[in-house]
Amino acid sequence: MGRTVSLYWRIFLLNAAVLVLSVALLFGPVTVSTPVLFGEAIVLVCGLVVMLVLNAVLLRVGLAPLGRLNRAMATADLLNPGERPRVSGQGEIARLTGTFNAMLDRLEAERAASSGRVLTALEAERQRIAQELHDEIGQTLTAVLLQLGHAARHAPPDVREDLHQAQETTRASLEEIRRIARRLRPGVLEELGLHSALRSLGSEFTAHRLSVAVHIVTGVPALDPATELVVYRVAQEALTNAARHSGASRVELRLGPLPGGGSCLLVRDNGRGRGTAPEGAGISGMRERALLIGAELLIEPGAGGGTDVRLNIAPPPP
């Protein structure tokens, strides 16, 4: 394979060829009088225009890969892996494009590995906090609840009502602690599986003035534990965003198979949509979790308003 000509020499030789052609024409059939005649001026101007147009076209064709590479660099986002710029030719631009593509592949792999370690540590910390809430604070509040009940039974009538009120407040606090612990560590996911965990999640948000309809379509492929945890956390974050920020009253949570294999999680609300609001930490966390399992996360306006959060999970390799 012959040695490729660098971009510098290609531009230099192109302009040199134009100048040599111009000089050759002046020494050949084209002559210039003094003063310049009108017909000669027209020939010179036309020749100059032709040479400039040829020079511009050739430079545009030669530098077009640089434009594609520049656009790819400007839009590159490690949380939104996209198409790579096409490598064409064998010159410096082709090598530069190939190096850029390899750099993006390496950065995405390193980010995925780093995010995996961070999210694993985060889940372990969630589990530790949930355990402490359940074992320490939960047991303490249970003991307080029993003591208040014992005191209420032996208290004078004028104090008994206050003690009963304190009991109810303590009982509500204990239920809230248990709810927080369940959200931190989805025990139902480990014990009963993803389908039951999603239904339980929908029931939990329905109890907080948000109507959640959960549909589990038959034929969903089996998922490994890591993928199930990602699906559960994405559904949890999407429901949290719908409850807190979208002003939605109804949410549809659907898990079903994809036509070409794999699975799809869809969380669709009837809220006011994201509009032009920037992505927050919650959405960034969902994207990082999706990257861990090689899934595609799409956040789009719903057909009838609101927001669609879609997690497309590729089928496992054979």
CATH number at residue 240: 3.30.565.10
- For residue 265, which phi and psi values (nearest 5 degrees)? -105, 130
Q: How far apart are CA 240 and CA 210, in angstroms?
A: 10
Question: What is the DSSP code (8-state) at residue 136?
Answer: I
Determine the pLDDT at residue 214.
Answer: 93
Any domain includes 260: yes
Same domain, 169 and 209: no
In a domain, 81, yes or no: no
Say yes or no: 21 and 96 in one domain: yes
pLDDT at site 4 = 59
- Mean pLDDT for back-to-back runs of 10 residues, the chain (318 residues): 59 71 62 63 73 74 72 69 67 75 79 71 75 77 83 82 86 81 74 87 81 89 86 90 84 90 91 74 83 86 85 80
Q: Is 269 helix (H, G, I), strand (E, B) or coil?
A: strand
Q: Is 304 a member of any domain?
A: yes
One domain, residues 301 and 207: yes
Structurally, the chain folds into a number of domains equal to: 3
Q: Please give the Cα distance from 170 to 160 (Å, whole number).
A: 15
State whether 63 and 149 are in the same domain. Answer: no
Q: What's the pLDDT score for residue 317?
A: 65
- Tell me how far apart the alpha carbons of residues 294 and 233 are, in angstroms, rounded to a whole number: 15
pLDDT score of 1 = 43
Domain that holds residue 55: 7-76+87-108
Q: Is 205 domain-assigned? A: yes
Of 184, 212, 237, which residue is a domain's last? 184
pLDDT at 266: 94
